A and B are shown apart, each in its own frame.
Chain A
Amino acid sequence: MDAPVLYAELHLANTQGLRCTSPPSPRQDACWGSGWHRVALKLGCVGLILLLMGLSVLVGFLVQKPPIEKCSVAVQENKTEPTVRSTILECPRDWHLHWNKCLFISQTSRPWAEGLADCSLRGATLLLIGDGKELKLLQDFSKGKGQQFFIGLKYVQEDKVWKWMNGSILNTNLLRITGKNEENSCALISHTEVFSDSCSSDNHWICQKTLKRV
């Protein structure tokens, strides 16, 4: 019985010794190695992320187009539409209703005589202004258009007076002509006043016709 006792003791001692010595060394090596690797990997990842961010920022800058100021002058033309339109009284197309008149605004510029002829062809006459309200309305119209217009008023050298195309003499209380009273002078309405311009100058004009009941 003593002999088996000795055998058992030897085996146990060997097993315990190996266990005590072998486990710590690989663990320590593994921990040390794995720790270093993890730190390195983290740093690598951070570096890569920073590089990618830098790349995206630079690409954004390159792709961005330089701002170019667009130079343009806006030409605003506000067409004045008729204020009142009844079912009974109508104007032809392209004409504007102003109280009891239909007005046509020329699209081109020509000397006064050509404007007069154009109005005749349309069965109308150059504009005649009857009162101060109508004058104000037309000056506002001129302002909106940014243009000036010949009307049916001309200086007659022989009589030394301004005459309307219907033969009546201008009432200077109604409107005052700014400029020269001399031969070859025709009235040009602007947004502030009525000028005496050369009849041979190029200007737009306004035709009028009396409104007819439909």
Chain B
Amino acid sequence: MPSSAHLQDPPPLLSRTLTQNEGQTSLRQSSSCGPSAASASESLSGSTESRIPHSKMLQGKLPRNIPLEYPAGLYCCYVVIIVLSVAVVALSVALSVKKTAQISTINTYAACPRNWIGVGNKCFYFNEIPSNWTLSQTLCKEQGAELARFDTEEELNFLRRYKGSSGYWFGLHRESSAHPWKWTDNTEYNNSVSIGGDEKHGFLSDNGFSSGRGYIVRKSICRKPNSYTSQCL
């Protein structure tokens, strides 16, 4: 501060001449009144006192404020921003991975058409509208399937449980009561479950397997492999 005062010497000289004139006028007025002169002296002393604390405060504030505020706040912001950015990136990666998994899951669930029921690698459809055996087989074929057969105990148990109390045509048939039972693809039935009745067309009843005349109308069950298996093969 004192050095700055010295540098400012030339301008004060010019200002002094102006202030001198002003000072003279003020003194003349004050000479007429005693109390006004006293007030002037007090104001001068006050201004001199205020100078010192101002300079001290300024000197103190500047060095203190700069190092304290700048780094701390900025560092905090940087850390928070970095953490959040990393979190967003991680979540994006996780989401993309999950989408991949989801796609494979959808394929698995879509292996059987709508309204068909998947059991193992097969799809089963329960046709609730009664029709005769031949028409039932035709309706199955229209959907790329055959009247149902079972290859495993699991499939048989599923058919028994799911059918309820109604009778359902399925894939067994024979030429006469003297001939062996066959599936719709003409492979011979292994007689793992005996078939009641003495007719030529098999159906599932709640009493096990039975046979009836082909022109009787009943509900029916279709079966076909699921597309997932087909794709794997």
Contact = CB atoms under 8 A, between A and B. Distances in A.
Interface of A: 4-5, 8-18, 21-22, 26, 44, 47-48, 51-52, 54-55, 58-59, 61-62, 66, 68-69, 71-73, 75, 77, 107-111, 146-148, 178-180, 184, 188, 190-192, 195-198, 200-204
A195 B126 contact: no
Contacts of B77: 44
B109 A69 contact: yes
Contacts of B109: 68-69
- Counting chain B residues whose Cβ lies within 8 A of the other chain, the interface size class is 35 or more
B164 interface: yes
B197 A147 contact: no
B165 A47 contact: no
Interface string B103-132: 001100110101111100000011010100
Interface stretch (B89-97, B136-144, B148-156): B89-97
A9 B21 CA distance: 9
Contact of A58 (B20, B80, B91): B91
Given A147-B167, A190-B216, A62 B91 contact: yes
Given A71-B112, A108-B206, A110-B207, A8 B27 contact: yes
B64 to A, nearest CB: 14
Contacts of A200: 196-199
B102 A108 contact: no
B15 interface: yes
Contacts of A197: 212-213, 216
A172 to B, nearest CB: 19
Contacts of A108: 165, 206-207
Nearest to B4: A21
B216 A62 contact: no
A134 B206 CA distance: 28
B85 interface: yes
A5 B24 contact: yes
Given A18-B51, A109-B207, A198-B197, 7 more contacts: A13-B12, A21-B8, A52-B84, A73-B115, A179-B216, A195-B215, A195-B217
Interface centre among A22, A26, A59, A146 (most CB of B within 10 A): A146
Contacts of A198: 197-199, 211-213
A29 B110 CA distance: 70
Nearest to B196: A202
B81 interface: yes
A54 B88 contact: yes
A13 B27 contact: no
Contacts of A47: 81
Nearest to A73: B126
A75 B164 contact: yes
B196 to A, nearest CB: 6
Nearest to A29: B62
B36 interface: no
26 contacts: A9-B16, A11-B44, A12-B19, A16-B15, A21-B4, A21-B8, A47-B81, A52-B84, A58-B92, A62-B95, A66-B106, A71-B112, A73-B125, A110-B207, A148-B216, A148-B217, A178-B215, A179-B216, A191-B217, A195-B215, A195-B216, A200-B197, A201-B210, A201-B212, A202-B167, A202-B197
Contacts of A77: 164
Interchain residue pairs A-B with the least CB separation, the first 8: A58-B91, A202-B205, A202-B210, A51-B84, A109-B205, A201-B212, A9-B23, A201-B197
A72 B112 CA distance: 12
Nearest to A192: B217
A178 B206 CA distance: 25
B207 A146 contact: no
A20 to B, nearest CB: 9
Given A71-B114, A73-B126, A55 B165 contact: no
A15 to B, nearest CB: 5
B42 to A, nearest CB: 13
